Amino acid sequence: MAYVGRFAPSPTGPLHFGSLITAVASYCDARAHNGKWLVRIEDTDIPRIYPGSEDHILRCIDAFQFEADDAIIFQKDRLDLYDAIINQLHKNHLVYACQCTRKMLGSNHIYAGTCRDLNLPFEQQAIRVRVSDQEICFSDRLQGTHCSNLQQDLGDFVLKRRDGIINYQLAVVVDDYLQGMTHVVRGADLLDNTERQIWLGSILGYPKLKYMHLPLAMNDQGQKLSKQNMAQALDLNRAPELLQQAIRALHQPEVDLDTPAHMLKQAIAQWDIQHIPHTKELEGTYL
Ligand SMILES: [Zn+2]
């Protein structure tokens, strides 16, 4: 079976233990399927890039001895490509300009389609994609069946912001396609994004992907580890210990402390996703 997977962090802060769990799971799952593993830096939201975090990501990949099968790509170098896709969608009448301000939208999280038929010019406006009133479902390898009706749950959503920033959802879908991705392994915090990405993939005619959403590591406040919640940056001097903890967090068989490359090799040989808790959160707390 063909398998191409990826690790796709956003450089909005240094990588933390939750990121390591995702890196390990995506890597072991790809290698256990004799697949390829790619790294992509999701940095389209340029104002949110945290100084030094791209460098920290690259140093982590080295320190944990992950081997990417291709050059690492940076989405901020590919903005023209995403614009070209928006133009393609425009030609097919699948996107439109929206002049609604945050104030006009208020606290309503479901976009009512106010600008759908106004035919506004694209300059200086947000660009939204049309969604349809239908249930989109997928079968997650860990989380089971997950569904959403985008029209009822969300409404037409933004692909490009008024300030020109390309939305994460679009960049993910386009790059997963261009990089030949077959499998997505990532944190369960992204479960609710998946139907939007499936919708975009379907209107662009891209092949379907298989998804696995991992349970999240939580801190002692009951929050997921994240840059916003001040998760500790991965300490590259403790790579073997942290790797052993990440493999444990995924409930995989124990690996011996060794060089990271050897530990990963052992983890790949023992890899079994049935051991991973089929939940959205891991038990226990992490820093
Ligand atoms: Zn609008």
The per-residue pLDDT for 103 is 83
Coil, helix or strand for 27?
helix
> How many CB atoms sit inside 10 A of residue 22's CB?
22
Q: Is residue 115 annotated as involved in ligand binding?
A: yes
Q: Is residue 286 annotated as involved in ligand binding?
A: no
The per-residue pLDDT for 251 is 98
Q: Nearest-CA neighbor of 65 among 14, 5, 23, 15?
A: 23
User: What is the Å distance from ligand 1's center to 115 Cα?
Assistant: 4
User: What is the Å distance from ligand 1's center to 158 Cα?
Assistant: 10
> How many CB atoms sit inside 10 A of residue 150's CB?
22
Vertex 92: Cα angle to 88 and 95 (nearest 5): 80
Residue 88 predicted with pLDDT over 80: yes
Q: Nearest-CA neighbor of 40 among 25, 23, 28?
A: 23
Residue 170 predicted with pLDDT over 80: yes
Q: Is residue 19 annotated as involved in ligand binding?
A: no
Contact yes or no for 74/43 (Cβ under 8 A): yes
Residue 172 predicted with pLDDT over 80: yes
The per-residue pLDDT for 45 is 93
Kindly report, residue by residue over 105-120, the tens digit of the pLDDT: 887 789 999 999 999 9
Q: Where are the beta strands (DSSP E) in the chain?
A: 4-7, 36-41, 73-74, 95-98, 126-129, 135-140, 144-149, 157-160, 183-187, 210-214
Mean pLDDT of the chain: 95
Q: How big is the chain by its Cα radius of gyration, in Å?
A: 20
The per-residue pLDDT for 108 is 77
245-248 contacts at long range (C-beta below 8 A, 24 or more positions apart): 245/17, 246/17, 246/20, 246/21, 246/24, 247/24
The single-letter code of the amino acid at 78 is R
Contact yes or no for 224/217 (Cβ under 8 A): yes
Q: Is residue 147 annotated as involved in ligand binding?
A: no
User: What is the Å distance from ligand 1's center to 105 Cα?
Assistant: 8
User: What is the Å distance from ligand 1's center to 44 Cα?
Assistant: 23
Kindly report, residue by residue over 204-243, the tens digit of the pLDDT: 999 999 999 999 999 988 888 887 777 899 999 999 999 9
Contact yes or no for 240/257 (Cβ under 8 A): yes
User: What is the Å distance from ligand 1's center to 82 Cα?
Assistant: 21
What is the CATH number that goes with domain 4-76+180-186+207-275?
3.40.50.620
The per-residue pLDDT for 106 is 80
The per-residue pLDDT for 58 is 96
The per-residue pLDDT for 115 is 97
User: What is the Å distance from ligand 1's center to 71 Cα?
Assistant: 39
Instruction: Report the percent of the chain where pLDDT is more than 90.
Output: 90
User: What is the Å distance from ligand 1's center to 90 Cα?
Assistant: 16
Average pLDDT of the residues in 54-79: 97
Q: Is residue 42 annotated as involved in ligand binding?
A: yes
**What tokens were used for 59?**
């140093």
Q: Is residue 98 annotated as involved in ligand binding?
A: yes
53-63 and 17-32 helices, crossing angle to 10°: 50
Vertex 7: Cα angle to 208 and 225 (nearest 5): 115
The per-residue pLDDT for 120 is 96
Q: How far is CA 224 from the centre of its chain?
A: 15
Average pLDDT of the residues in 25-41: 98
Q: Is residue 7 annotated as involved in ligand binding?
A: yes
Q: Is residue 8 annotated as involved in ligand binding?
A: yes
Strand 157-160 versus strand 126-129 pairing type: antiparallel
Half-sphere exposure of 121 (CA within 13 A, CB side): 2
Q: Is residue 168 annotated as involved in ligand binding?
A: yes
Average pLDDT of the residues in 140-153: 98
Q: Is residue 123 annotated as involved in ligand binding?
A: no
User: What is the Å distance from ligand 1's center to 113 Cα?
Assistant: 6
Domain ranges of the chain: 4-76+180-186+207-275
Label residue 1 by pLDDT band (50, 70, 90).
Answer: low
